[in-house]
Amino acid sequence: MFRHFSKYLQRKPGGPVIDFSGIWVNELGSEVELNVQEDRVSGNYRTAVGRASPTERFDLTGFATRDRIVFCVKFGSYGTLGAWTGLHSEEKGVEEIYSLWHLPRDIQDDEEAKDYRWSAILTGVNTFKRKGAS
């Protein structure tokens, strides 16, 4: 598996240069506002799921290169972190960021918890569309 993966690491960078700056909304209604300066990403995230109020905004930071982006969010006093890795695409004229996310949960630190470490990191998929797109 690692030998196969190493072929991808040896490839020269490619893909179009995308300006990810702007507001993007995913299928759950969560919204990300991205500001990109060179390869640095900053902005904020508003989640439509979980315990946070839909009006709360959380800082994000990350990187972008060509048509790829990665950003992470600290959900303030909720003690949760989230990270998204995405790829820009365009479907029928609508810009999208197809992303995978990871969100670690707090689990007990006792010996029994070792058997449940696998359940501590939630993972999923989001597709963000540029706000204003159909």
- The pTM assigned to this predicted structure is 0.83
Task: Give the model confidence (pLDDT) of 1-44 as tens digits.
Answer: 555 555 555 556 677 889 999 999 999 999 999 999 999 999 99
Place of tokens 């969560």: 30
Task: Give the model confidence (pLDDT) of 45-91 as tens digits.
Answer: 999 988 888 789 999 999 999 999 999 999 988 888 999 999 999 98
- What's the CATH code of the domain at 87? 2.40.128.30
Predicted confidence at residue 16, as pLDDT, reads: 82
Give the largest Cα separation in the chain, rounded.
Answer: 52
Identify whether 10 is part of a domain.
Answer: no
Q: Are 70 and 83 in contact (CB under 8 A)?
A: yes
Identify whether 68 is part of a domain.
Answer: yes
Identify whether 45 is part of a domain.
Answer: yes
Instruction: Take residue 101 and report the two structure tokens written for it.
Output: 């996310």
Count of structural domains within the chain: 1
Choose among 64, 58, 59: nearest CA to 85.
Answer: 64
Identify whether 2 is part of a domain.
Answer: no
Say how far apart CA 60 and CA 101 lie, in whole Å. 14
Type of residue numbered 23 = I
Domain that holds residue 82: 16-130
